[in-house]
Chain A
Amino acid sequence: MSDTQTNSSVAFVQTEQIPASPPPASEVGIINWLRSNLFYSIPSSVMTLLAIAFIYWLSSIILPWVFNGVWDASSIRDCRDQLQGATGGCFAVISERWPQLIFGNYPADEYWRAVLALIGLFVALAPVLFFNLPRKMLWFTGLFPFIAYWLIWGGSLWVSIFALVGVVAGFFVFRALSERSFFGAIVAGLFATLLFWIFLTPTLANALSAVIPLTLVSVESRFIGGFMINFILGTSGIALSLPLGIALALGRQSNLPIIKGICVVFIEFIRGVPLITLLFVASVMLAYFLPPGTTFDLVLRVIIMVTLFAAAYIAEAIRGGLAALSRGQYEAADSLGLDYWQSMRLIILPQALKISIPSIVNIAIGLFKDTTLVSIISMFDVLGMIQGPILSSTEWFGVYWELLAFAGLLFFVFCYGISQYSQWLERQLNTGHR
């Protein structure tokens, strides 16, 4: 063997290796890709051709409509004059009416406040959504609801400040009692906050704003509309329903029959009726159940109903997470001598919540989409704005597709973004054991 290798004088022996020849043209590059992904069998080829025909048909409708679109016109007649019979969208309605679609009838001079609240929302959400940001940012998250309320509704800053003071007071009550009983401390803290809000906040705020008026122009709820109201309802609904949902889920898993019964009836009732009937309750019925003479803001009533609605669904999602935990986790917590609240807080809930994150995010997306339903009870959210003031105006009568496409696009961007975030978070939290 070694003899033939060293002896290069033999004529028929190749001395150097033949360079690898390129693969056949049908096995590389685009042709191979087409063959293995689109035309690998006769049914597949037929389907591909049908799909191409469908795409061609769809784009022959949509592309001219988008690219021929008129972005600068004063009315739909103006649009039609500019198009002169050609196919094209009248996107001028969006470039002219976008403030109405986004902010509703919010006073134009105060748009900066809404924009500032939106930026604040992103800053406040960032440490909640991304765990590697500095934890100190959570302080801003805690302050944000009060700032946002002041920015959006205006009025005196003192109302927000004393509402915050009430929460702080409640927290101190909780701290003082939490050694004795965790649950009792929570209830006492909530009570303290509520009492502070009802009895002290209005008087103190009035007194101090008479001395130092830190006021913004007050904006009534009926002026708040457009995509902004979808955002307000969605974020506050989901934020408030999380604690309630956790409480309901724990109640449903509890072995106290009356507590369990109350939670089951509540959850099944809410899940059994459509959201629109709950919104009817908010708009026409809730006033009956309050003491005579109480007037209640419609936005607040809707937030209450949306919160109750989302809480029932979140409770079911968390119940799924609780059920997915192995029995051993509960037993291990018991054997360590932890009481019910300690074991829930330290052992069970952190794991159960992690498991239920995907379904909670789905519920959040669903809730955000469902905020469009308020247009049926005549609130002017983005859809209500389109169907109400804009489509019934003389300039833009009949511009359906452009407006609906715009609203759809707004929702798509946010909902798709949230679902992508949820998938990213699942990968982050996947610590390998479940």
Chain B
Amino acid sequence: MTTFSDPPPTSGPPTQAFSIGMLINDTRYRGYTFQFIALCALIFFFGWMIWNAIQNLAALGQDIDFSFLGQPASYEIDQKLIPYTSTDTHMRAAFVGLLNTLLVAFLGCITATIFGVVAGVLRLSNNWLIAKIMSLYVEIFRNIPVLIWIVIVSSVMSQALPSPRDFRGETPEATMAFWDSVAFTNRGVYVPAPVWNNGSWVVVAVFILSIIGIFALRSYAKKLLFETGRLIPTGWPSVALFFIPSILAYYIMGKPIGLDYPSLGGFNFVGGMNLRGTLIALWFALALYTGAFIAENVRAGILAVSKGQTEAAAALGLRPNRIMSLIILPQALRVIIPPLISQYLNLTKNSSLAAAIGYMDLTGTLGGVTLNQTGRSFECVLLLMLFYLIISLSISAIMNVYNNAVKLKER
């Protein structure tokens, strides 16, 4: 039997008395030293910057004060979603700007998705000409700065379109489009505005109920199919459900919803709804630009689904459109959604370029006129960053919930 001259007292790693040198030489403790140094450096750096800022502000006789937000803004905003006059406060002006940012981001995201999906799918088309046109669109829009596109579209809106004056006279130089209902002018696009008369809420309610009905019908059909294997038609009943109840309600209530068409009056168009040229320019420039990026994501997503999936589905006897909707798209969607989220975020952040063409979004109000009028650059830029940070984080939070819902459920 072998005898150990010095048997280890316990099992496990050797215990050693802690010494100061271990803070640098021992990998178990070195991390704490580094973190402590980094934290100290960070605190020192921020402290230094804040101290400088206090010194500088004191030298200029300024202070950090957000009370200017309660003072009257005394500037006009032409594009607004909530009532606003120049006697309202800077705070309300910033809020109008925030809503304008959200408006253009919302419209832009929807339009960009449509452009992107159409271009991405058509780029994979067997039709040579269509595929080439789509790749030309993608390359041109991806490789030219979005700011140049915004300025170009805005120049189209303000320079190439006729002025309201050109619509007058016996032989006008310009005519209204879409059966005299839409006027493209350099003062914006005039479209018919809906007029809500008494009883219109019934029509709207019926419409919403029929939409709910369509979803109920579809989920019932799916349940029936899974439980009994019986397939009931959903296509034409959905279409019927979409139109018939609403149209019936519309006529029963005596046509309560009308359209107010724009018409020439004085030097300008009256009636209807005026979509400002700046809004349209920003909306379409952002949608076209981001659409080109989304097209690439969509194309990559579709290509990522292996050909075996299509063939397997065909072998099961599915028809091509059902292969697309049941097999390819659900799988492609998982690849498409994460980059799509970041494209939506990019679009929202790029909407801040409104400043270049005078669309009064958050940057135009809070970071533009308010900043210049009050000279409170410090507070304005801080608030501006905070607003955009909140918007970005909310969008990514919402989209991440959706992403988790469609994500591949792994074991």
Interface residues of A (CB under 8 A from B): 37-38, 40, 44, 47-48, 51-52, 54-55, 255-259, 262, 268-269, 271-277, 280-281, 284-285, 287-292, 339, 365, 369-370, 372-373, 375-376, 383, 387, 398, 400-401, 404, 407-408, 411-412, 415-416, 419
Report which residue of B38, B129, B353, B367 has the largest number of chain A beta carbons within 10 angstroms of its beta carbon.
B129
A404 with B148: in contact, given A272-B389, A276-B353, A292-B56 (CB under 8 Å)? yes
Contact B129 A274 (CB under 8 A): no
Contact B143 A274 (CB under 8 A): no
Residue of A272, A275, A288 near B53 (CB, 8 A) is A288
Residue of B42, B56, B139, B381 near A280 (CB, 8 A) is B381
Residues of B within 8 A of A288 (CB): 52-53, 56-57, 378
Residue of B nearest to A269 (CB): B389
Contact A373 B59 (CB under 8 A): no
Residue of A nearest to B147 (CB): A372
Output the least CB separation between A47 and chain B (Å). 5
Output the least CB separation between A93 and chain B (Å). 14
- State the 6 A-B residue pairs at the shortest beta-carbon distance, nearest first: A369-B145, A415-B143, A37-B128, A274-B349, A272-B392, A284-B377
Output the least CB separation between B328 and chain A (Å). 19
Asked if B133 CB lies within 8 Å of chain A CBs, one says yes
Residue of A nearest to B46 (CB): A289
A70 CA to B34 CA in the complex, in Å?
A: 66
Residues of A within 8 A of B125 (CB): 44, 47
Residues of B within 8 A of A256 (CB): 31, 34-35
A247 CA to B62 CA in the complex, in Å?
A: 37
Name the prevailing secondary structure of the A interface residues.
Answer: helix
Residue of A nearest to B132 (CB): A51
Number of cross-chain contacts by CB at 8 Å? 149
Contact A37 B145 (CB under 8 A): no
A47 with B130: in contact, given A376-B353, A411-B143 (CB under 8 Å)? yes
Residue of A257, A262, A272, A365 near B388 (CB, 8 A) is A272
Asked if B393 CB lies within 8 Å of chain A CBs, one says yes
Contact A383 B147 (CB under 8 A): yes
Contact B147 A373 (CB under 8 A): yes
Residues of B within 8 A of A408 (CB): 144, 148, 152
Name the prevailing secondary structure of the B interface residues.
Answer: helix
Interface residues on chain B, number (Cβ under 8 Å):
53
Asked if B318 CB lies within 8 Å of chain A CBs, one says no
Residues of B within 8 A of A281 (CB): 381
A262 with B38: in contact, given A280-B384, A285-B377 (CB under 8 Å)? yes
Q: Can you report 13 residue pairs joining A to B where beta carbons are below 8 Å apart?
A: A37-B126, A47-B125, A48-B127, A55-B133, A273-B349, A273-B389, A277-B385, A288-B56, A288-B378, A289-B53, A387-B356, A404-B148, A411-B145
Residue of A48, A259, A262, A407 near B130 (CB, 8 A) is A48
Asked if B155 CB lies within 8 Å of chain A CBs, one says yes
A408 CA to B148 CA in the complex, in Å?
A: 7
B 372-390 binary contact with A (CB < 8 Å = 1; else 0): 0000011001001100110
A273 CA to B140 CA in the complex, in Å?
A: 26
Interface residues of B in 20-64 (CB under 8 A from A): 27, 31, 34-35, 38-39, 42, 49, 52-53, 55-57, 59
Contact A259 B393 (CB under 8 A): no
Report which residue of A52, A287, A408 has the largest number of chain B beta carbons within 10 angstroms of its beta carbon.
A408
Contact A272 B393 (CB under 8 A): yes
Residue of B27, B126, B133 near A44 (CB, 8 A) is B126
Output the least CB separation between A131 and chain B (Å). 25
Contact A292 B144 (CB under 8 A): no
